[in-house]
Structure 1
Amino acid sequence: MSRAGVWLTVASGLAFASSGPLAKSVLAAEWSPGAVLAVRLTGAAAVMLVLAASAEPDGLRGSVRHLRTIGAFGVIAVAGVQATFLLSLEYFQVGVSLMIQFLAPIAVIGWDWAVRGRRPSNATLLGAIVALAGAALVIDVLGAGGLSLPGLGWAALSMLCNAAFFLLSARTSDSLRPVVLLGTGLTVAAVTSWLLGALTVLPFHIGSATAAMGERRLPAWAALALLILLSTVVAYLCGVAGAARIGATLMSLILLSEVLFAVALSWLLLGEAVTPVQMFGAVLVIGGIALARYGADQRVTRRTQPAPAAR
């Protein structure tokens, strides 16, 4: 196992985790979710296209052969994930929204079973049940007034879009390299965000020039620059580099650290803290998804092992 790959993936999780506090600080300055989304995706697309043109110029030119995959990736797996996540932040704390979003691997397992007929192993099913039980504790379904139906709806949509991200990311090939998919996909996502704003689905409204991060104040442009460069460009690049070294399965498990990073950063920067019950639920979510992934990986390993030779 590559130690560099592990650290790159941990760095990716930390960078992704910063998106919640940074975005919420700008939203608190009365910026609309549509404005935050459009600025973030446009800036990230510009940076990533330059990187893709420098690293894979031939792949970028050949990406026209994959317009369907790139379009779905940009609209659903990037713009869809980010838009619904931002909308859920108006009702939930950062850590709660992110923990619901991280149920995406369970949705992928359900898709494989229902659509592709791939029945999960017993370990995978047990992991899914544990993760869903943890999610129930995270959203506090038993607590008085703890359940926000609009917030739950947006967070659930973000989870489904994130599941699409996993499914579409697996469709890269020699002619569609990951950095090319990210560059072109982010461009499609940026265009989608502006269209949503023009159609008033996600109204575009620029608020104060000063963002509020708990008791602290910082320029809104600085928070947006960090959201573009750290939470998007660095996060995706470290994730791609990490996956190349340790594989997608191990990467997806290590990226569960994003939930813990997000909770810690939200507490440090925004003063948000989850209850002990929600923290226990977070442990169940992470443990359940890890068990589900382990069960799926073991089944693939057994299926690919050669049959014993006849004597």
Structure 2
Amino acid sequence: MNAARLKAPGLGFAVLSSVAFGTSGPFGKALINAGYSPMQASWTRVAGTTLILLPLAVLLRGRAAGRAVRGRWPLLLLYGLMGVAGCQSLYFVAASRLPVGVAILLEFTGPVLVVAWMRFVRRTRVPRTAAVGVVIALAGLACVVQVWSGMRIDLLGLLAGLGAAACQAAYFLIIDRVGDDVDPLVMTAAGSTVGAVVLAVVAPPSGIPWHVLTTGVPFGDRLAPGWFLVVWIILISTVVAYLAGVAAVHRLSAPVAGGVAYLEAVAAGLFAWITLGERLSPAQLAGGAIVLVGAFVAQRSVAPDEPVMEPVPSLESAGVRSADA
């Protein structure tokens, strides 16, 4: 009875998390089109998230947060560098040069890279179904980038999307390595803090076009206040998305919550279509579905019981899964 009571709210939280994360691409791209660089948009998202989550972690976890950070600071530093700063900024670079739907699909090949890492770097045997998932995902990716047309897709955008996938894979592997040693809230707060510091070096806040916040930003057929887009990216696309993701994992198994998290790619494509008018070709839509199926099969085959697919943070994170994302 208790499990049944938890399952429905858990699925609701998982869907909310995925949809919230999926809005980051369209909203971030609108800011980029208005004058922000991808790195500046990423710093704004991560820094704003830090201002919310860091005090929250200190308030709710107290001294336990400090002990956890001291005990695992090398991994948390790497998590902030790759799982937060790298994943968020590279995703925004990809989204600024490609349709948002293509950018998020490239990032979601991360589980495929996890399989490759385990097989060729760790020399670990992986199930045959994982290899099948990799082949399926790569076939779908070929459709997304339309290799038969000579790959006329923007090369820098393609490389940035694949770089975001590599950072997403690192995010999964780091979470797997940390395990239960660090509370998810503390880990995300620490990672976003590191990410904000790193991105501040690459995109100094003094160079950000702050005037955009007080002007109207083209958003589909309308103008949206710049401050509204920033607040949405920080509060909804990252903080709410992350907290809902954690709530989902607590009520469901991590693999189930991770499976629902693939809705993020669908949500990102739909929001980009509705708000930015970005459409994917039928071949790209079919390829996107194939990519998600392959990545899901690969991820479930390698880690059916491990929490390596907790939705985000982007921050796409958690965002920031990203942040994403």
Give the TM-score normalised by the residue count of structure 2.
0.86
Residue 234 (structure 1) shift: 0.9
Residue 240 of structure 2 aligns with an amino acid whose one-letter code is V
Give me the identity figure in percent: 29
Select 1:37's aligned residue among 37, 42, 47: 42
Give 1:80 shift. Answer: 0.4
Matches within 5 A, 1:55-66: 55-62=60-67, 63-66=69-72
Report the counterpart of residue 32 of structure 2 in structure 1: 27
**One-letter amino acid of the structure 2 residue matched with residue 7 of structure 1:** G
In structure 2, relative to structure 1, the CA distance for the partners of 1:226 and 1:257 (3 Å cut) is same
Q: 1:71 aligned to 2:71?
A: no
State the SS of the aligned residue for 2:218: strand
Counterpart check, 1:248 vs 2:254: yes
| CA distance, structure 2, for counterparts of residue 77 and residue 168 of structure 1 | 8
Q: Is the 8 A contact 2:133 2:296 kept in 1?
A: yes
Residue 89 of structure 1: SS of its match in structure 2?
Answer: helix
Distance, in Å, in 2 between the alignment partners of 1:294 and 1:159 is 17
| Within-5 A mapping of 1:32-181 | 32-62=37-67, 63-143=69-149, 146-181=152-187
**Following the alignment from structure 1 to structure 2, what is the Cα–Cα distance between the partners of residues 293 and 192?**
29
Match of 1:8 in 2: 13
Kindly tell me: are residues 54 and 171 of structure 1, through their superposed partners in 2, closer, same or farther at Cα, counting changes over 3 Å? farther
2-structure distance, mates of 1:298, 1:240: 18
Pairing of 1:202-213 with structure 2 (within 5 A): 204-206=208-210, 208=212, 209-213=215-219
Note if contact 1:73-1:168 (Cα within 8 Å) is conserved in structure 2: yes
Residues 142-192 of structure 1: CA deviation (Å, up to 9, x unaligned):
236632211111111111001111111223455411100011111111111
Q: Distance in 1 between matches of 2:304 and 2:63?
A: 37
Q: 1:173 to 1:108 in 2, by over 3 A?
A: closer
- Which residue, out of 246, 263, 271, partners 1:257? 263
- Equivalence for 2:220: 214
Larger CA Rg, structure 1 vs 2 = 1
Corresponding pairs, count? 298
C-alpha spacing 1:297/1:184, structure 2 compared with 1 (3 Å)? closer
Which segments of 5 or more consecutive residues in structure 2 lack a partner in the other structure? 307-325
Q: 2:36 is paired with a residue of what secondary structure?
A: coil
Distance, in Å, in 2 between the alignment partners of 1:298 and 1:27 is 38
Amino acid at match of 1:16: F
- 1:29-68 Cα distance to aligned partner (Å, 9 max, x none): 1112222122111110010012212221122221222211
Deviations 1:96-143 (A, max 9, x none): 000010000010111111122222222111111011110111122223
Structure 2 CA distance for partners of 1:278 and 1:10, relative to 1, 3 Å: same
Question: For the residues of structure 2 that align with 1:117 and 1:35, how far apart are their CA atoms?
Answer: 39
Provide the C-alpha distance between the structure 2 equivalents of 1:125 and 1:145, rounded to a whole number of angstroms.
25
Cα deviation for residue 215 of structure 1 reads: 1.4
- Structure 1's unaligned 5+ residue stretches are 301-311
CA distance in 2, matches of 1:299, 1:234: 25
In 1, Cα distance between equivalents of 2:286 and 2:235: 32
User: What's the secondary structure of 2:149's corresponding residue?
Assistant: coil
The one-letter amino acid paired with 1:137 is C
- Across the aligned residues of Structure 1 and Structure 2, the Cα RMSD in angstroms comes to 2.1
* In 2: Cα distance, 1:241 partner to 1:42 partner: 23
| Structure 2 residue 197 is the aligned partner of structure 1 residue 191 | yes
Q: Does 1:270 align with 2:276?
A: yes
Shift of 1:199: 11
Deviation at 1:294, TM superposition (A): 3.6
